Chain A
Amino acid sequence: MAEVVTLTEAVRELVHDGDTVAFEGFTHLIPHAAGHEVIRQGRHDLTLVRLTPDVIYDQLIGMGCASRLIFSWGGNPGVGSLHRLRDAVEHGWPVPLEIEEHSHAGMAAAYSAGAANLPFGVLRGYAGTDLPAHTPTASWIDCPFTGERLAAVRALRPDVGIVHAQRADPAGNVQLWGISGVQKETVLASARALVTVEEIVPELTPRPGATILPGWVVTAVAAAPGGAHPSYAHGYYDRDNDFYRRWDAISRDRDRFQEWMRRHVLETRDVGEYRSSLAEAATA
């Protein structure tokens, strides 16, 4: 059964220097609060995994937590570049960042293989592109039945999978709905799984179309209300599109970025303080 703990305890226990960590979320339910806690606790040398690294990965990378990134699309959706990611790849600041690059379909197949305890995933893809020349975890396999040559991608098996969801019960059973990305696969592919939730309720009421992660596949659950911001939690709050737009200017400059991180992440203790610090900055 999942242990219900504080986010501080969960990160301390589950995320170690040098780990491969997947903070998943496809635009929706991105585990920002967990990422902030990893930054506060000063983890480094992490291999970060995600289809769509966005602002929270920009922050982790810019704070020097990561030495490697496995991904398929790294940008600020609808806005432009991730400047901290670019600075790390283009100039090695603050530390060099190795990259391992796939397509979304390839990453999805790799997570699915990991969840299914297979050594690799298979798909029609990569052929004719320059990706396989740079990505040793993408290769080829001949179908034993038809002879068709298909792409093979090495299974993703993160040390820790971290996702955000709407609700959990005291036994750590998790319920999430709306756009669900690859969260289920991430939890099932990872050696340890941490789920942050908007709220812990006495009992989960059934909801059509919701994904259930039983407590016995989750290592720890931590309450982090508002913990997806600036991403959103369907049924709780909307995506803060304006924040994504503002992040472009904040992250463009190294000093401004560091100052922002100090004020809103390093000098806050949890989501509540982070949100208050943002509100104060907005009215200042």
Chain B
Amino acid sequence: MRYMALIYGNEAASINMSEAQGQAMLGEYNAFSEMATARGALLGGEALLPTHSATSLRVREGKTLTTDGPFAETKEQLGGFYLLKCDNLDEAIEMASQIPGAKQGTIELRPIVEWD
């Protein structure tokens, strides 16, 4: 099965990180990616810029309405994701529990719809 691991966290804390802290976090994420790749589980993943760079839009009656900011203001924001290939939920949980962001924020695991 494929799972999307959505990484939620307090982005203000990440923005206010020192240079050294930021480097350390990057190192942890690289280590996770290497581990997941070695296990053949990593299908993809990216980090996102903070929500102040977000644009939301909707099309109504043919008109595109755009607004500044994220879809919803929440305490924890979506900061990145991994696309993982795992046999089952237990394996996905085990894998996702090693994502560095799990220690401060929350990882939401969503199964991918398989069209077949």
Binding between chains A and B: no
- The chain A residues found within 8 Å of chain B, CB to CB, are none
Q: List residues of B whose CB falls within 8 A of some A CB.
A: none
